[in-house]
Amino acid sequence: MTLRTSAPLLGIPPVLLGISLAASSELAAGLLLYTGEGMIRALSLILSVLLASLGVGIWSGMQEEGPVVPILRRRWLFVFLAYILAAVYAAGWGFLGEGEARGLSQGLGLAVLGALPAYAGGSLLAVMSREARDRTGRAAAPFALAALGGGVGSLLVGVFAGSRIIPPSFLLLCLVLLSGASFVEALGLARLGPSPIEEGESG
């Protein structure tokens, strides 16, 4: 009964992670493209960096070995740090994005607002997938749920685009969603107990 009631909880964190990743990526693209100069080239660069960062993050998460739960904790902390840095940078965007420092600030903005959260989220998603594979033999569910959440996140940004979105506040909202996701995942894992692989290693 515990397995049946707790397992659905583990489907919530990937969805919230996907919402946050898509929303923050779209917000980053909006900030960096605000001037409208060379929009297609800039958009191509932004998307390539975001997708590459996500891919490298997934690869990195797949390579890490050891007990899953401690790795999940570290990856969650990394995601929190990435979003805190993004919020801090977004708060100072008006100062860093002006004058001669525009090119430098945009490059740094792409790294902090886009690449770092994408890398951190991808690595966390990979570890979620590994945990799901160890427990159920299926690794695709977290990726599918994160993609579903990504669609919701992009839609939310589009819905609120007409209003005045304050980037730091929006990123902090993503951080709140991620905090809730980590709590739900910890609760679900605690109720489910150790995975069969971890039980075998401890035995």
d(CA 174, CA 187): 20
Q: How many residues does the chain have?
A: 203
d(CA 51, CA 191): 34
Please say whether the beta carbons of 19 and 163 come within 8 A: no
pLDDT tens, 128-145?
988 888 777 666 788 888
Place of tokens 């009964």: 1
Two structure tokens written together for 122: 């991808």
Two structure tokens written together for 131: 């945990």
- Specify the pLDDT at position 138: 67
Please say whether the beta carbons of 150 and 20 come within 8 A: no
Question: Is 88's pLDDT higher than 60?
Answer: yes
DSSP percent split of the chain into helix, strand, coil, nearest 5: 85, 0, 15
Question: Is 90's pLDDT higher than 60?
Answer: yes
- Specify the pLDDT at position 5: 43
Place of tokens 């109720």: 191
pLDDT tens, 171-202?
888 899 999 999 988 888 877 666 545 544 44
Q: Among 3-17, 48-62, 67-81, 96-110, which stretch is predicted with the lowest mean pLDDT?
A: 96-110
Closest by CA position to 146, among listed 8, 14, 1: 14
- Average pLDDT of the segment spanning 34-56: 76
Q: CATH assignment of 2-202, given 1.10.287, 3.30.70, 1.20.1250, 1.25.40? A: 1.20.1250
pTM: predicted TM-score of the whole model, two decimal places: 0.81
- Among 92-96, 120-124, 152-156, the range of highest mean pLDDT: 120-124
Please say whether the beta carbons of 113 and 168 come within 8 A: no
Task: State which amino acid sits at residue 174.
Answer: C
- Specify the pLDDT at position 80: 95
pLDDT tens, 55-73?
999 999 888 888 888 899 9
d(CA 2, CA 191): 7
Q: For the chain, give every domain's residue range.
A: 2-202
Q: How many CB atoms lie within 10 A of CB 174?
A: 25
Please say whether the beta carbons of 14 and 125 come within 8 A: yes
The answer for residues whose C-beta is within 8 angstroms of residue 24's C-beta and 6 or more apart is: 83, 86, 113, 114, 117, 170, 171, 174
Comparison of pLDDT for 168 and 21, the residue scoring more: 21
